[in-house]
Structure 1
């Protein structure tokens, strides 16, 4: 019976697995329709039309892409392939599958989108004001993320006498799809300093593993087998006596 108890304990620990904190960097790929718009210059950059920028006024009027500038503008680095787009921290599920809360979420969108394309000739800072989210695992592999974060993208326009310009927005993930949107406008004495981030895409999550027998079913089968073996041994011993 001691052997049976030890086997049951071992299998239970194997099913549960270790519980530990983990940080994971997530890659992503932006959709071609993703845009970054600079209303101050009446220009936007669209991923599947870069390099180059186009007049916002013409596009909003009739959907046409009228070039503006020297045609070299790039707002989406690496053609929209965002390596280590953001990081999440969580406590791994007590088992190979399950859904756990995301404990920390960090991102710096300036590393991937319009890093220095603003009229201010500087990058912007990303602040995560608040977030809620979960990560789902199947067979020890992350299969989906659900997250909603309130963010702030901030330009330092002190050199232009405008101070710090905050652009409020959201970053949302549903399953393997993400959407980043931020918008804001400030008076400058000329054209308003309005900037818009409208970026969507897909997370590069691993393929879930193929179906395997449930650990619980395996445990029942093993425990049943050990119990039957123990019963037969005891029965033989009684018969021999």
Structure 2
């Protein structure tokens, strides 16, 4: 979780080095076995690391009522990347980190995409889109470029397009909490069943915990570097 101190040697411009700052943090997570995606219309769930019917590449389906594998199913993979949710999101800071001394920032923006890691690609409605709807708490501390403290809490929406049922985009609300060592994802919402009024509600649940496996500051070009690159482009054009 170190801040990469990147200095570019541009000898053709007689520059000794151009260092970069950063105001974006890329986030990677490691999900613990037992993470679940549950769908209550059909009464089924998938579980990470469950080795459905002895197959380590399959995560379910299981009956919510009994926990038993659903008979007659060929199995499904709801966690295509397994437990490694690399570069699943990013955090935007309200300033630029230099990597020197103790620096504290507020988190003013965030983006996470869980759909490629905890997926339900339904044959009728397709997959979902994930969005951060609001940040309820967000601070980060760096000491000499190392992230020593992170406090991030946000409200999420996982959005399915139920246009096939005459409903349109439908968000399922929840929360995400991430600190420098762990995370908790909890999304759970129900709607009346548009295809079967009075039947089981359309309730989807995403439930996962685990560790924060990587927090990487993304360097941004300094004004000096951008100017140098501009001079290089101009120099190359003049030589043509």
TM-score by length of 1: 0.69
What is residue 172 of structure 2 aligned with on the other side?
167
What is residue 44 of structure 1 aligned with on the other side?
45
User: Per the alignment, do residues 120 and 172 of structure 1 end up closer, same or farther by CA in structure 2, a change over 3 Å counting?
Assistant: farther
Contact 2:185 2:207 in 1 (8 A): yes
Cα shift at 1:141: 1.7
What is residue 186 of structure 1 aligned with on the other side?
191
What is residue 200 of structure 1 aligned with on the other side?
209
Q: Which has the higher contact order (CA 8 A, sep 6+)?
A: 2
TM-score by length of 2: 0.69
C-alpha separation in 1, matches of 2:74 and 2:26: 33
What is residue 122 of structure 1 aligned with on the other side?
126
Question: How many equivalent pairs are there?
Answer: 184
Cα shift at 1:74: 1.2
User: Per the alignment, do residues 129 and 86 of structure 1 end up closer, same or farther by CA in structure 2, a change over 3 Å counting?
Assistant: same
Structure 1 unaligned runs (5+)? 1-17, 60-64, 207-241
C-alpha separation in 2, matches of 1:96 and 1:71: 55
Query: Secondary structure of the equivalent of 2:185?
Result: strand
Cα shift at 1:149: 0.3
Cα shift at 1:123: 1.0
What is residue 81 of structure 1 aligned with on the other side?
84
Cα shift at 1:23: 1.7
What is residue 54 of structure 1 aligned with on the other side?
62
Contact 1:142 1:205 in 2 (8 A): no
Superposed CA deviations along residues 178-221 of structure 1, whole A, max 9, x for unmatched, are 11111111222233211001011111137xxxxxxxxxxxxxxx
What is residue 216 of structure 1 aligned with on the other side?
none
User: Per the alignment, do residues 69 and 76 of structure 1 end up closer, same or farther by CA in structure 2, a change over 3 Å counting?
Assistant: farther
Map 1:1-241 → 2, pairs under 5 A: 20-50=21-51, 51=58, 52-59=60-67, 65-68=68-71, 70-90=73-93, 91-93=95-97, 95-116=100-121, 118=122, 120-131=124-135, 132-188=137-193, 189=197, 190-205=199-214
